[in-house]
Structure formats: C-alpha cells, structure tokens
C-alpha cells in the first residue's frame, strides 16, 4: 500500500507550506490548491485520502467545496478537516452539517493537526478492514438500511445521507431500544476521542431527523434521552 495522499487547500501560501512540511515529515504525499475551484477539480482528479480545507477561499469557499464533494458518490467518503481563522459557532455547526469530519480554528498547532489527520486515516483503515461495517441489511417497518449499497429507503423513497449520517443511523438502528451516549457515538463514528464537544452528535442527529422524519419536532424513530444520548425507538 502506498503512502496516503492529502490535499491541502488554503489561499495563504505560508499555511500551505507549513502543513505540507509537517505532513511530508510524517511520510504523507501532499498536493495543494489555493482556491476552491481548483481544490474541487484536484479532489475529483486525484481522489486524495484526506482533505485539509480552509473555509475562506477565492472562487469557491470551503463550505461549497465540501458540499460539492459530498454530492459526488466517488468522493463522498473522503474525510475533510476544515480550517478557519474565524471561531464563530455558526461556522463550526455549518461545517459539520454539510459533512466535514473535523474542524480546527487558526492559529493551530501542527502537532494537533497531525494527530487529527492520523486519527481520521486510522478510522478509514479500520472501517475497510472490518467486515462488520458491511453486510446485513436492517429492516424496521418501512425503513431499510443497506450498508453494502450505502442506501437508506423509507416508504419507498431513497434518502440522500452523508457518510456520517448513514453511519449514525445504522448504529442506532442496529442497537434498537438501547440508549447510546454521545461519547460512545463520537468514539464509534468519528473514531477517536473528539477534541471538541458532544454537540457534534447533536448537529448530525438534527440533520438526520430533517431527512428521516416527517415531523422532526416529534421524531418517530430517533428519541433523545435527556442528559445521556439517543436511542432508536423500539416501536416506531
């Protein structure tokens, strides 16, 4: 197996070179872009193993790059770590909602970035090596979850889910009736002890409900257990 390739996207050349230096020191191949349009084209051409993506970019901002990648079935599972000089909560929430895997605010420690890159790539490797991730179709009333096809169908309609939303739904449905804590879901889906807070799970649950539930305010499938986490209802 060759060295993982990482696409680094930032319009500040000194940031690109800083990240490149540290990633190459760890043995990764690095390609780079300094605007969003070029970043998307490079992602489509090279299919990198991971993308480090700045939010504020010319031509196409990082959020839109992330959205377009998520829409492409060949790139949807590429993990994305977003960078930003801004620290507003709305930026973080938006990044998570559109499918980013992680979020780091500038200025950042190169050591922290490397740790997060390694954690994301370990998670991908573990998923590829774990046959349990694929296989058994889950059927609950009018809901069908097919891991091999990466497909969720409800009432005959196929849902468009991000990889994180799909995995969150799969784990909750597989553990139907059991309360799963936010910490457990973070560890299981994100693959490491998330440096941040458990609102990451809440954001994804809210987005998942908007797609899954006819009335997200009164969920039929995913129940909130206050102060603990979530469970897939035994009777939906």
- CATH number, domain at 86? 3.40.50.2300
Q: Is the pLDDT of residue 196 over 80?
A: no
Residue 59 in contact with residue 34, Cβ under 8 Å?
A: no
Q: How far, CA to CA in Å, does 107 sit from each of 31, 112, 115, 127?
A: 21, 11, 16, 31
More confident of the two residues 82 and 126: 82
Listed residues 129, 160, 175: the one ending a domain: 129
Whether residue 21 sits in one domain with residue 110: yes
Q: How many residues does the chain have?
A: 236
Same structural domain for residues 172 and 110? no
Task: Tell me the C-alpha distance between 220 and 236, whole Å.
Answer: 5
Shared-domain flag, residues 35 and 61: yes
Tokens, residue 145: 């979850």
User: How big is the chain by its Cα radius of gyration, in Å?
Assistant: 18
Structure-token pair, residue 221 = 């499938």
Please give the model's pTM, rounded to 2 decimal places: 0.66
Structure tokens at 235: 């009777």
pLDDT of residue 142: 86
C-alpha to C-alpha distance for 181 and 13, rounded to whole angstroms: 41
Kindly tell me if the per-residue pLDDT of 6 is higher than 70: yes
Residues 189 and 112 in one domain: no
Give yes or no: residues 13 and 93 share one domain.
yes
Is the pLDDT reported for residue 133 higher than 70? Answer: no
Given a cut of 90, whether residue 22 has pLDDT beyond it is yes
Q: Report yes or no: 202 and 107 within 8 Å, Cβ to Cβ.
A: no
Alpha-carbon separation of residue 224 from 9, 60, 182, 183, 200 (angstroms): 37, 37, 11, 14, 15
- The reply to whether 99 and 202 lie within a common domain is no
Q: What is the mean pLDDT of residues 208-234?
A: 90
Neighbours of 18 (CB within 10 A): 16
Query: In terms of domains, do 100 and 135 share one?
Result: no
CB 37 within 8 A of CB 8: no
Give SS3 for 195: coil
**Alpha carbon distance 167, 201 (integer Å):** 12
- Within 10 angstroms of residue 167's Cβ, the number of other Cβ atoms is 20
Under the banding of pLDDT at 50, 70 and 90, the label for residue 116 is: confident
Given a cut of 70, whether residue 135 has pLDDT beyond it is no
Query: Does 152 lie in the same domain as 118?
Result: no
Domain boundary among 88, 105, 129: 129
Asked if residue 147 and residue 79 are part of one domain, the reply reads: no
On whether both 108 and 42 belong to a single domain, the answer is yes
Q: Do 47 and 155 fall into the same domain?
A: no
Q: How far is CA 29 from the centre of its chain?
A: 22
What CATH number is attached to the domain comprising 137?
A: 1.10.10.10
Q: Are 5 and 29 in contact (CB under 8 A)?
A: yes
Percent of the chain residues topping a pLDDT of 90:
41
Tell me the two tokens of residue 113.
């970035």
Domain boundary among 70, 105, 129: 129
- pLDDT at res. 229: 93
pLDDT of residue 8: 97
| Of residues 179 and 126, more confidently modeled | 179
Domains of the chain: total: 2
Q: Is the pLDDT of residue 51 over 90?
A: yes
Domain that holds residue 178: 131-232
């Amino acid at each position: 197996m060759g060295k993982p390739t990482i696409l680094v996207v930032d319009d500040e050349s000194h940031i690109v070179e800083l990240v490149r230096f540290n990633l190459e020191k760890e043995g990764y191949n690095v390609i780079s872009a300094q605007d969003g349009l070029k970043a998307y084209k490079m992602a489509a051409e090279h299919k990198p193993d991971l993308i480090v993506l700045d939010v504020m970019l010319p031509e196409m901002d990082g959020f839109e790059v992330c959205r377009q990648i998520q829409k492409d079935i060949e790139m949807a599972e590429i993990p994305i770590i977003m960078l930003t000089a801004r620290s507003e909560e709305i930026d973080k929430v938006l990044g998570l909602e559109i499918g980013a895997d992680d979020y780091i605010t500038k200025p950042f420690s190169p050591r922290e970035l490397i740790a997060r890159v390694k954690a994301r790539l370990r998670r991908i490797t573990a998923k590829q090596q774990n046959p349990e991730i694929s296989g058994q179709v889950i059927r609950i009333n009018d809901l069908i979850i097919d891991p091999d096809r990466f497909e969720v169908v409800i009432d005959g309609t196929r849902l468009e889910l991000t990889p994180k939303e799909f995995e969150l739904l799969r784990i909750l449905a597989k553990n139907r009736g059991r309360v799963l804590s936010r910490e457990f879901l973070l560890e299981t889906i994100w693959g490491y002890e998330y440096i941040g807070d458990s609102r990451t799970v809440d954001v994804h649950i809210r987005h998942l409900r908007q797609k899954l539930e006819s009335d997200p305010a009164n969920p039929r499938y995913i129940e909130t257990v206050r102060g603990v986490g979530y469970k897939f209802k035994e009777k939906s």
